[in-house]
Structure 1
Amino acid sequence: MTGGIAAYKAAYFIRTLIKNGAQVRVAMTKAAANFITPMTLQTLSRHRVYTDETLIYDDEIVPHIELADWSEIAIVIPATANIIAKIANGIADDFVTSTLLASACPKFVVPAMNEKMLTNKATQRNMERLQADGIHILEPEMGFLAEGYDGKGRLPATEVIFKWLTQKMLQEKTSAGRDLKGKRVLITAGKTIEIIDPVRYITNRSTGKMGYALAQIASERGAEVTLISGPTNLLPPIDVNFIAVKTTAEMAEQVKRYFEKMDIVIMAAAVADYRVEKPATQKIKKNSPNLELKLVKNIDILKSLGQLKTKQFLVGFAAETQNLLENATKKMREKNVDLLVANDVSRQDIGFGSDQNEVTFLRPENKPLLIRKNSKKEIAVQLFDCIDSMERR
């Protein structure tokens, strides 16, 4: 931890790490101790806090080497321009920098500083050096700065930092490696909505969890990911090109915009098949015991892509409540997809709203492949494994 006003936010981040099963030890600079006390961090981490005074060796250990050897990951938060410059140039003039220089574990830097310091050429050059050395850097956010004005340099929210850290750690460890590096992947997710009047709309129960899991795994495996999503309560994965839409027509427009340049396209969104022909411009009043809405068919996005595809590997989803394989196989052929993922949404333990699913992969000229009940992230992994094996043939 280094000396910035965002140090107080780092305390919340430490708590989040511990809640998620991490063992945390804190090393802080002298400047950091001016913003938050070592006692606070010791109480949160349940370990003694390392400061410059800890540099005094005892007979048995060298503290900064002992900490460097103990650590499986090192996170610098908040990272000031000063610490970034020191790390980039191999300076080790206090406990924190000495530990970082001695550490061989993956390193993660979360900058927070004034916008003018952040955009300074020296800081940008130092950050480029860190990235070239394999150190992960989280981009600061726009927001209200300590100086009293809006600018870039604000420390992201704790949940954003934790999600980024988790994703980067998975990238370090994933057995699949970076097999999607150089690939452009387009994924649709969530539901679409169709307006009835200014306060009502037609939609479905999709939460977007499957599509977001696919986007995260694709990013972790090195792909350049574009995620086009209808309304959800989910945070988009870090490092994806995120595009928010509402209606089926809006989703179709954005998919068409990006489709030509893509290598893999996965249509995981649950789009509304119908829309109200003439949405009311004012709220419909309850003046009648009955209300009739005339619905017209929306564009079939997946079918249109099946007609347009050239080099793209096209994946569709089929959410069925009966005759799963029969209906899904028919859809696979009609939509001209390379792979169709069929799932039974009538089951209460999987599908819409659940973190788990059970699906069947349908491929032209191949037997159905059942993927038994598992987390949606694991199903995403197996989906990309399947795509990889099919493309290698």
Structure 2
Amino acid sequence: MDKRERERPRVVLGVSGGIAAYKACELLRRLTESGHDVRVVPTASALHFVGEATWSALSGNPAGTEVWESVHEVPHVRIGQAAELVVVAPATADLLAKAAHGLADDLLTNTLLTARCPVIFAPAMHTEMWENPATQENVATLRRRGALVIEPAVGRLTGVDTGKGRFPDPVEIFEFCRRVLARGDRATEQDLAGRHVVISAGGTREPLDPVRYLGNRSSGKQGYALARTAAARGARVTLVAGNTELPDPAGVEVIPIGTARQLREAVLKAAADADAVVMAAAVADFRPAVYTTGKIKKIEGQEPEPIALVRNPDILAEISAERAHPGQVVVGFAAETDEVLANGRAKLARKGCDLLVVNEVGEHKAFGSAENEAVILAADGTETPVPYGPKETLAETVWDLVAPRLAETRR
């Protein structure tokens, strides 16, 4: 094995016997094309949906189901021992039950018992199976032991049924895996396990008439990075998303909104039992005083009437002042164009939040970009600079500062 091969992260993709097995091919493609060395371990049932030849061809590695194959290599032990990440996608109710009870009757379940790396399960099944108390108890057991069980999506299931239990978007499962791997030795710490966090993302739009609105350039990428990162660290995540074109992060409850007042209502409701609230959305400070029910017409030779504006509610200040319970951590974002730190410090004092992420915005800065640069100001006077880099890096730093503050509330 050459140096390049040794440096490729080793991932085991377990595939159990559900109809969503065909969607795991897209996950496998994402993993291999991004430089991961992937070994697919399907169950015998999974091969009824996607054949062994497909898994082997897409991964470039042999795909087997039995502990009796290549016995001299002791695959039932070696595969799990060598892995840096194990992801089971889809994970059926049967597979979750076996994993929770330590059963090992095939190569995949043996691999799960020998793995000492982060383990992710992406369940897919009918709603009744997911909601069954036995399945819920098995999921709780796996999470208690440190496994990451992604909440299934809501949508169309096999046949005509619709409900919770749909396989999450493979692209988002890949992003979830990427975040877990990026944490390296810290991946199994799960410092947000058992916590509920609420994140706002995107930009609000304030309607002028049926076809026009006041808006901003926010893409929602930073808020979505915060949501993915929190989920990878074990949190239950509620994402209040305004006007984005991004796919729902895997395992995250997404509440779509349009206006600032809708965002306020959704955030206050979700924050009632939240341990932390992160207001990353770009919320419009003003809205038109009057909504015109018909399209505002352009009249030849006449200038348009001035548009009167009124203030929108200050959601960050409200949440900071009226916390749902003692110990709730509140994080705000400040997008500034000049005197960035001075304005940020003034805003931190004015809003009353625990942390304020301050960044400079403008053309090609922050909004719409995959990168960000910021200084995180804390109410205790400390400052944490985050150099220019991926928005996931800033997200990790935010949670690095939030997690110890939450830990203090458990003492």
Does TM, normalized by the shorter one, top 0.5?
yes
Q: Would you say 1:285 and 2:301 are equivalent positions?
A: no
Aligned to 2:332: 316
Contact 2:216 2:282 in 1 (8 A): yes
Per-residue deviation at 1:128?
4.6
Query: Are the aligned partners of 2:176 and 2:228 in contact in 1 as well (CA < 8 Å)?
Result: no
Q: 1:13 aligns with which of 27, 34, 39?
A: 27
Once the two structures are TM-superposed, the CA of residue 260 in structure 1 deviates from its matched residue by 6.2
Task: Please provide the CA RMSD for this pair.
Answer: 3.6
What's 1:35 paired with? 49
Q: Does 1:111 align with 2:123?
A: yes
Return the TM-score normalized by structure 2: 0.78
Q: Secondary structure at the match of 2:372?
A: strand
Distance 2:132 2:206 in 1: 47
Instruction: Give the % identical residues.
Output: 40
How far the C-alpha of 1:172 sits from its partner, in A, is: 7.6
Q: 1:202: Cα distance to partner?
A: 0.7
Q: State the TM-score, normalizing by the size of structure 1.
A: 0.81
What are the ranges of 5 or more consecutive residues in structure 2 without an aligned counterpart?
Answer: 1-14
Amino acid at match of 1:34: H
Contact preservation (8 Å) 2:180, 2:187: no
Contact preservation (8 Å) 2:203, 2:220 = yes
Aligned to 2:12: none
Aligned-residue offset at 1:91: 3.8
Match of 1:358 in 2: 373
CA distance in 2, matches of 1:308, 1:125: 35
Q: Do 1:191 and 1:204's aligned partners in 2 also have CA atoms closer than 8 Å? A: yes
Counterparts of 2:384 and 2:79 in 1: how far apart (Å)? 48
SS in 2 for 1:189: strand
**Residue 55 of structure 1: aligned partner:** 68
Q: Any conservation in 2 of the 1:188–1:229 contact (CA below 8 Å)?
A: yes
Shift of 1:204: 0.7
Is the contact made by 1:65 and 1:102 (CA closer than 8 Å) also made in structure 2?
yes
1:138 touches 1:164 (CA, 8 Å); kept in 2?
no
Q: What is the CA deviation profile of residues 218-246 of structure 1, one whole-angstrom value per residue up to 9, with x for unaligned ones?
A: 44445554433321123454455543221
Change (3 A) 1:107 1:279: same
The one-letter amino acid paired with 1:199 is: V
1:198-217 Cα offsets, whole Å, 9 max, x none, are: 11111011112223333344
2:263 paired residue number: 251
Q: How big is each residue's C-alpha offset from its partner over 1:168-197, in whole Å with a ceiling of 9 and x where there is no partner?
A: 556784379444556654433221110011
- Residue type of the alignment partner of 1:162: F
Cα distance in 1 for residues equivalent to 2:211 and 2:145: 52
Give the one of 389, 393, 400 matched to 1:374: 389
Residue number in structure 1 paired with 2:38: 24
Query: Amino acid of the residue matched to residue 376 of structure 1?
Result: K
The whole-number CA distance in structure 2 between the counterparts of 1:170 and 1:139 is: 21
CA contact (8 A) 2:357 2:376 kept: yes
**Which blocks of at least 5 consecutive residues in structure 1 are unaligned?**
none
Name the CA distance, whole Å, in 1 between partners of 2:152 and 2:236: 21
Pick closer, same or farther for the CA change 1:373–1:43 going to 2, 3 Å: same
Report the AA paired with residue 374 of structure 1: G
Which secondary structure state, in structure 2, belongs to the residue aligned with residue 27 of structure 1?
A: strand
Q: 1:318·1:342 contact (CA, 8 Å) conserved in 2?
A: yes
Distance in 1, Cα, partners of 2:234 & 2:358: 26
Q: For 1:379, give the aligned amino acid.
A: L
Q: Which of 298, 308, 311 matches 1:294?
A: 308
Indicate if the aligned counterparts of 1:171 and 1:177 stay in contact, CA closer than 8 A.
no
Match of 2:82 among 63, 67, 70: 70
**Cross-structure match for 1:150:** 162
Q: For the Cα contact (< 8 Å) 2:146–2:188, is it kept in 1?
A: no
Maintained 8 Å contact 1:189/1:208: yes
Query: What CA distance in whole angstroms lies between the structure 2 residues aligned with 1:366 and 1:265?
Result: 20
Question: Of the two, which has the highest radius of gyration?
Answer: 1
The equivalent of 2:8 in structure 1 is none
**Alpha carbons of structure 1 residues 36 and 217: separation in structure 2 relative to 1, 3 Å:** closer
Question: Does the C-alpha gap of structure 1 residues 69 and 317 become closer, same or farther in structure 2, counting only changes over 3 Å?
Answer: closer
SS state of the match for residue 42, structure 2? Answer: coil
* CA apart distance, 1:38: 1.6
Q: C-alpha separation between the residues in 2 aligned to 1:390 and 1:35? A: 47
Output aligned runs, 1:193-272, within 5 Å: 193-223=205-235, 225-257=237-269, 264-272=276-284
Equivalents in 1 of 2:118, 2:173: separation in Å?
16
Please state if 1:44 is matched with 2:58: yes
Distance in 2 of aligned mates of 1:291 and 1:188: 34
SS in 2 for 1:161: helix
Q: Please name the residue that 2:359 is paired with.
A: 343
Residue 213 of structure 2 aligns to which amino acid in structure 1? Y
